[in-house]
């Protein structure tokens, strides 16, 4: 193991420390200088020079991966919840640092509290997952007629590392939205934030480390360059990248990534579009929503959002009115010091970013004209326009988008957007596709037909589509807001990958393996009872056992009950379900039945009467619900039925309050069987069971 050399810093401030190998260590050399985006003042420098990346990777694999893989989804989810609650204590400090990146309070809220919200969201997903370190996925498949051979899919945490290379626009959200997924999946992370704002990411990680919530090696932070990190990856690792397509392609073709077939998820350039429907007229609520959304997308985070609106598509006969209203809205946006209560747009992340934006604007102006804003000057409040990375919002107009390739290929990553006309919806859809893939598009319309046609026509080229109208106007989260439970990514130019997406996101960090064998073997491997496996005969009624006492596969065969015409009639009267098939006097010719048939819910109710122990209080606290229910065969009068009742799965629950009853959820497989020994119905019943 190579020794990591301590830094000897020659600059006037210390080099920011990275968190590696379980300690805070500064790289050697002067590093890259970091500046306050608002005042231009020097903050610190960042360097990873001298770091042994192979050792860092090995530490994540041997320490972090080993620890997380042993934990269950429930335990990992509780780690995320604990982290979120812990970070909420330090919001004032994080906001203060965020202002130095040029972010306003609203910008910082999205970055900081939005990121913490992702931790909460993924923590809550544990309730949909088993109380195991791995995930039996989907349904089982019986592969033999004698029911002795079957198959199932199993997801296992990969034995590698999640490497997150993040963009500069969201120093906090960019990290937290990604690590929430890999930690819940059971994989450690090495986070490499964009250097320009890594001091804010570092502040968050410092609080996370100090909390001692995560196991050693579960999270490491690199403040500075990735160095040769990507040369150390293998097939068990996963890389996520957010940034330019040029840089992403360069990283993706690293020999170690190509040779080892390493999973590489990219979120890159995206020329996102918003479309105003033909049906929307000035004065309609949808018109106002459109103008408001465009202004927000141009000015929030100073336009530095991968989901920001870059192309504004408007019906040809409304473009003058839209240009007027957007310009008016932009003119009311106060720019300046993010700490000032009246300021609504801060600065770009730095002067380097500003120079790059202006360079790209010049390229766009080859086929467009500037209709709002100033390339050279900007009026700011409580700030020095020349010291900080401030710039005016710029609204461009392109009158011939079908023959202007620049506007569909060049992204000015700042408060810049281009207005363009379209003649009909088909043309609008075609224009959005010229961007060759985007993260998100929005259609603003009051017409359901327009919305449907747009989604079906444009959906292949966008990762997400927002349909915005008056009905969801107040509650919608906006064009530019990715949500934890929905995928964030897009095809083509946008990178072709996806992030978050609820449970889907976990699968990027897990290996799916198909398991084949007997029901008994799969029950033992998956730790979930599989239909057809031999049960464990219950000597005591399962409802008399506490959560800890119940065993997977513990099984009870109930006595029988006979279905009579009187029972069917009584249930019809009690429930009000007088469907023709449940009546004695129905002429059944031409139907699926030969005589009066029992209600499916009557069978389930009678089954509950057979397996429920109701004579005295017991550890079962309540019926929690039904996961799945199928009726597989009609049951006619004078048929006897019984139930095979089996403990299928157990999921522990944590207390929400100290005074809560300690408990867990037990899933029971309920197999309803008739007197010919054929299955007539199957269900998974959930009960809440007290712990000892």
Q: State the DSSP string of 561-573.
A: EEE-HHHHHHHHH
DSSP H helical segments within 100-136, as ranges? 105-108, 114-124
Q: Which of 557, 596, 603 is nearest to 579 (CA)?
A: 596
Residue of 232, 306, 498, 647 marked active site: 306
For 402: left if phi > 0, alpha if psi spans -120 to 50, otherwise beta; the answer is alpha
Name the 3-class secondary structure at 230. Answer: helix
Residue 674's CB is within 10 A of a number of other CB atoms, namely: 19
411 is catalytic: no
CA distance 171 to 163: 15
SS3 354: helix
Pick the catalytic residue: 17, 113, 267, 498? 267
CA-CA distances (angstroms) from residue 549 to 353, 540, 554? 61, 11, 10
DSSP H helices in 441-486: 448-458
Is-contact 307 440, C-beta < 8 A?
yes
DSSP 649-668: EEEE---SSTTSPPEEEEEE
Give the tokens for residue 414: 């700042």
Comparing CA positions, the residue from 527, 496, 37 lying closest to residue 265 is 496
Give burial (CB, 10 Å; 0-12/13-18/19+) of 92.
exposed
CA distances from 110 to 180, 221, 440 (A): 16, 22, 18
Taking alpha carbons only, the member of 108, 96, 37 closest to residue 380 is 37
Cα torsion 164, 168, 171, 176: sign = negative
CA-based nearest residue to 304, from 496, 40, 104 = 104
Reply yes or no on whether 267 is catalytic: yes
Tell me how far apart the alpha carbons of residues 72 and 357 are, in angstroms, rounded to a whole number. Answer: 46
Catalytic residues: 267, 306
């Amino acid at each position: 193991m190579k020794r990591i050399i301590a830094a000897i810093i020659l600059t006037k401030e210390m080099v920011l420390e990275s968190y590696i190998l379980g300690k805070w260590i500064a790289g050697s050399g002067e590093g890259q200088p970091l500046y306050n985006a608002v005042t231009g003042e020097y903050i610190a420098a960042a360097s990873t020079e001298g770091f042994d990346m192979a050792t860092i990777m090995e530490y994540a694999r041997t320490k972090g991966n080993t620890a997380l893989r042993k934990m269950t989804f429930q335990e990992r989810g509780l780690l995320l919840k604990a982290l979120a609650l812990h970070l909420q204590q330090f919001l004032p400090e994080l906001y203060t640092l965020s202002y130095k990146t040029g972010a306003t309070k609203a910008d910082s809220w999205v970055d900081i509290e939005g990121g913490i919200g992702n931790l909460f969201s993924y923590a809550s997903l544990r309730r949909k997952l088993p109380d195991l370190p791995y995930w039996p996925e989907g349904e089982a498949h019986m592969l033999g007629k004698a029911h002795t051979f079957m198959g199932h899919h199993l997801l296992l945490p990969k034995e590698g590392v999640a490497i997150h290379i993040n963009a500069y626009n969201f120093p906090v959200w960019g990290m937290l939205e990604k690590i929430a997924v890999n930690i819940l999946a059971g994989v450690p992370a090495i986070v490499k934030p964009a250097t320009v704002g890594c001091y804010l990411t570092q502040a968050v990680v410092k609080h996370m480390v100090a909390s001692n919530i995560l196991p050693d090696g579960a999270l490491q932070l690199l403040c500075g360059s990735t160095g040769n990190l990507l040369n150390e990856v293998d097939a068990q690792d996963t890389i996520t990248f957010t940034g330019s397509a040029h840089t992403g392609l360069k990283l993706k073709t690293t020999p170690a990534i190509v040779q080892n077939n390493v999973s590489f998820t990219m979120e890159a350039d995206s020329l996102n579009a918003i479309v105003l429907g033909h049906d929307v007229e000035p004065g309609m609520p949808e018109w106002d929503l459109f103008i408001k959304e465009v202004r927000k997308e141009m000015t929030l985070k100073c336009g530095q959002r991968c989901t920001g609106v870059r192309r504004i598509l408007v019906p040809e006969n409304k473009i003058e009115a839209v240009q007027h209203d957007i310009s008016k809205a932009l003119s009311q946006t106060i720019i300046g010091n993010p700490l000032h209560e009246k300021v609504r747009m801060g600065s770009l992340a730095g002067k380097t970013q500003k120079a790059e934006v202006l360079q790209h604007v010049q390229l766009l102006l080859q086929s467009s004209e500037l209709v709002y804003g100033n390339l050279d000057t900007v009026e700011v409040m409580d700030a020095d326009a020349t010291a900080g990375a401030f710039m005016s919002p710029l609204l461009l107009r392109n009158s011939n988008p079908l023959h202007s390739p620049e506007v569909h290929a060049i992204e000015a990553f700042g408060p810049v957007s281009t207005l363009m006309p379209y003649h009909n919806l088909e043309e609008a859809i075609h224009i959005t596709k010229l961007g060759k893939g985007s993260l998100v598009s929005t259609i603003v319309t009051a017409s359901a037909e327009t919305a449907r046609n747009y989604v079906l026509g444009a959906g292949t080229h966008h990762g997400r589509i927002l349909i915005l109208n008056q009905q969801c106007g107040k509650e919608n989260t906006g064009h530019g807001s990715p949500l934890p439970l929905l995928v964030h990514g897009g095809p083509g130019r946008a990178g072709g990958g996806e992030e978050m997406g609820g449970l889907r996101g976990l699968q990027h960090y897990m290996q799916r393996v198909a398991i084949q064998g007997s029901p008994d073997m799969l029950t033992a491997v998956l730790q979930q009872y599989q239909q057809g496996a031999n049960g464990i005969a219950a000597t005591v009624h399962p409802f008399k056992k506490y959560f800890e006492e119940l065993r997977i596969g513990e099984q009870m065969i109930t006595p029988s009950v006979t279905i009579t015409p009187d029972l069917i009639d009584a249930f019809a009267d009690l429930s009000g379900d007088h469907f023709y098939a449940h009546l004695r006097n129905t002429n059944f010719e031409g139907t699926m039945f030969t005589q009066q048939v029992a209600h499916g819910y009557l069978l389930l109710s009678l089954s509950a009467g057979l397996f429920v122990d109701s004579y005295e209080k017991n550890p079962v606290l309540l019926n929690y619900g039904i996961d799945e229910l199928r009726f597989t065969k009609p049951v006619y009068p004078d048929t006897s039925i019984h139930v095979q009742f089996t403990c299928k799965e157990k999921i522990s629950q944590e207390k929400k309050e100290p005074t809560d009853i300690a408990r867990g959820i037990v899933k029971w497989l309920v197999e309803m069987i008739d007197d010919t020994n054929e299955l007539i119905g199957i269900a998974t019943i959930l009960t809440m069971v007290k712990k000892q």
